[in-house]
Amino acid sequence: MNLIKPEKLKKGGTIGILATSGAAGEKENVQRAVKFFENRGYKVVLSENAFDEFRDMAGNDAKRLEQLHNFFKNPEINAIICMRGGYGAIRLVKHIDYDLIRNNPKIFCGYSDISALSIMFLKKSNLMTYHGPMAIGDFGVEEPCEFTVDSFFKAVTTDKLEYQPTRPKIYKKGTAEGLLWGGNLATAASLCGQDFIPDEDFIFFTEDLNEPVYKIDKMMTQLMNIDKFTKNIKGIVLGEFLDIDNQAWLDELFTGIGEKLNIPVIGGFKITHGTEKITLPYGAKAKLDEKSLITSTI
């Protein structure tokens, strides 16, 4: 892959807050996120549909798609931070102008439902994006988490990153190399039917929230039923699976996957819907062992 890397974020640049998925709900968090970046010396552009509502989404598909395209076309915007997750991104993936994305590379960051966009941008546009914090739930809360903020700014301003699991859990020992790819498990599985799996070796990172373990099993099986997935996967990095119903089954599941695929499976990383989260570069060169995940965009 000829990976396209966006320019690093510089002080005084312009950050766009983009609504691609769920409706904002309370406006206060969006306004606080704007002030958060302005107080750090950045200019901020808010998408026109930020406070629109259509069902549970921030406006209808046409409006959300229009704003996505406009943000990438806008030469004044240096980085795009998604407003929130929820639902709606998968409704756009068949209609995105991936040539436009490829020809206007810039920082793009989000998680949860946004994983669908990051996965497709990497596959169809070769664009490196970031799995990381969003406006409403992270930058727009009354007291943004220092750990999360620091990880984000380090990721979008430097080329080499190293992450250690906070509570290491080794399901299968080993080492792996490949590009870094993955995201929210339910969102990744929802892309089945699309051409979305990397064509080269990859390390898969994933997390989820409020999913019973049988559904986690089902979604991992969906992915593993894709020949390209099982052929190219070289390691698994596990974040947090919050509010699950059966930890023993989850542990058994990922131990079994490691054994079946004969790849390292390492858990305990702050990839999460929780407050403390790391920011990861999609498509970066990655190395995984039992102690750390190292990524490089050089």
pLDDT recorded at residue 26 = 78
- The percent of residues above 70 in pLDDT, for the chain, comes to 100
- Tell me: the pLDDT tens digits for 129-166? 999 999 999 999 999 999 999 999 999 999 999 999 99
pLDDT recorded at residue 136 = 98
Query: How far, in Å, CA of 152 to CA of 148, rounded?
Result: 6
Helices within the chain (DSSP H only): 28-39, 61-73, 98-103, 115-120, 146-155, 185-190, 213-224, 227-232, 247-261
> In Å, how far are 31, 36, 62, 95 from 74, measured between CA atoms?
21, 22, 18, 19
CATH 3.40.50.10740 range(s) for the chain read 14-158
3-state secondary structure 184-245: EHHHHHHCECECCCCCCCEEEEEEEECCCHHHHHHHHHHHHCCHHHHHHEEEEEEEEEECCC
| Domain with residues 14-158, CATH architecture | 3-Layer(aba) Sandwich (3.40)
pLDDT recorded at residue 1 = 81
Query: How many CB atoms sit inside 10 A of residue 207's CB?
Result: 26
Instruction: Give me the sheet containing 107-110, strands edge to edge.
Output: 43-46, 14-18, 79-82, 107-110, 130-131, 280-281
- Tell me: the pLDDT tens digits for 30-89? 999 999 999 999 999 999 999 999 999 999 999 999 999 999 999 999 999 999 999 999
pLDDT recorded at residue 35 = 98
Is residue 165 helix, strand or coil? coil
What average pLDDT does this structure show over 240-255?
Answer: 97
161-296 has which CATH code? 3.50.30.60
pLDDT recorded at residue 166 = 93
Residues 6 or more apart whose CB falls under 8 angstroms from that of 286 comprise 177, 178, 179, 180, 203, 293, 294, 295, 296
Residues 6 or more apart whose CB falls under 8 angstroms from that of 281 comprise 128, 129, 130, 155, 161, 180, 295, 297
Q: pTM above the 0.75 mark? A: yes
- Classify residue 210 as left (phi > 0), alpha (psi -120 to 50) or beta: left
CATH 3.50.30.60 range(s) for the chain read 161-296
